[in-house]
Chains A and B, each alone.
Chain A
Amino acid sequence: AQSVTQLGSHVSVSEGALVLLRCNYSSSVPPYLFWYVQYPNQGLQLLLKYTSAATLVKGINGFEAEFKKSETSFHLTKPSAHMSDAAEYFCAVSDPGSGYALNFGKGTSLLVTP
């Protein structure tokens, strides 16, 4: 089964500092991987996705992620955190066995301090 593990349920960074949110995947087939962001009382919004093209994927709001097969990782980064980046972030992997539904990690809450 396809699954992802997010390391760290809470991450705190200072405004302007590097953001690094970790995600490791487990998949029996070449994975399709996604990062979503959720702001309070809202639905999930796609940040970026990896679909076996370039291993470095650029997304919205200055975020990017690198697919590393040797490490089974898909970590999310942003060079300089902004206060508006404070949100819940979810890593997900596509599951061919359920209509390509997404299997989500448990989420990482990002806090950005002034």
Chain B
Amino acid sequence: DAGITQSPRYKITETGRQVTLMCHQTWSHSYMFWYRQDLGHGLRLIYYSAAADITDKGEVPDGYVVSRSKTENFPLTLESATRSQTSVYFCASRDTSGNNTGELFFGEGSRLTVL
């Protein structure tokens, strides 16, 4: 099906372990984004990518690593998970055809719990 999909939807891990959250989109959108959602903070931007092999930091990048070897995939890695990274993570993409006023399209989220 066309759209943006995230996996896993739910993940429980332990402090210090490496975790990778996957994001895949079928639209060939140039821009992709990772946000985390926490109560009282809304959504905060972690990293974004303008195209394959082009990534940049957002508001809260510490403790996270991203890569984008293919346009359709934008994985987010927590190299050594901490309890403060317990959150719901959303991937999003944006079409840039025409102009930069396009909305973001969101995946359904990945709920990560770090014990």
A→B interface (CB under 8 Å): 9, 32, 34, 41-46, 49, 51-52, 90, 94, 96, 98-107
Report chain B residues within 8 Å CB of A99: 31, 33, 48-50, 56, 94
Interface size on B, residues (CB 8 A): 26
Report chain A residues within 8 Å CB of B90: 43-44
B→A interface (CB under 8 Å): 31, 33, 35, 40-45, 48-50, 56, 58, 90, 92, 94, 100-104, 106-109
In the complex, A99→B57 CA distance in Å?
Answer: 11
Nearest Cβ distance between residue A107 and chain B, in whole angstroms?
5
If the complex has contacts A90-B43, A100-B94, are A49 and B56 also in contact, measured as CB distance less than 8 A? no
If the complex has contacts A44-B90, A46-B103, A98-B56, are A104 and B42 also in contact, measured as CB distance less than 8 A? yes
Q: Which of B41, B56, B100, B106 contacts A44 (CB 8 A)?
A: B106
Closest A residue to B57 by beta carbon equals A98
Can you give 8 contacting A-B residue pairs, CB < 8 Å? A32-B101, A43-B107, A44-B43, A44-B104, A100-B94, A100-B101, A104-B43, A106-B40
- Interface pair A51/B48, CB less than 8 Å apart: no
Report chain B residues within 8 Å CB of A34: 103
- Give the 8 A-B CB pairs with smallest separation, nearest first: A43-B106, A51-B101, A106-B42, A104-B43, A104-B42, A44-B106, A100-B100, A43-B108
- Interface pair B106/A98, CB less than 8 Å apart: no
In the complex, A44→B43 CA distance in Å?
Answer: 10
If the complex has contacts A34-B103, A51-B101, A94-B100, are A101 and B109 also in contact, measured as CB distance less than 8 A? no
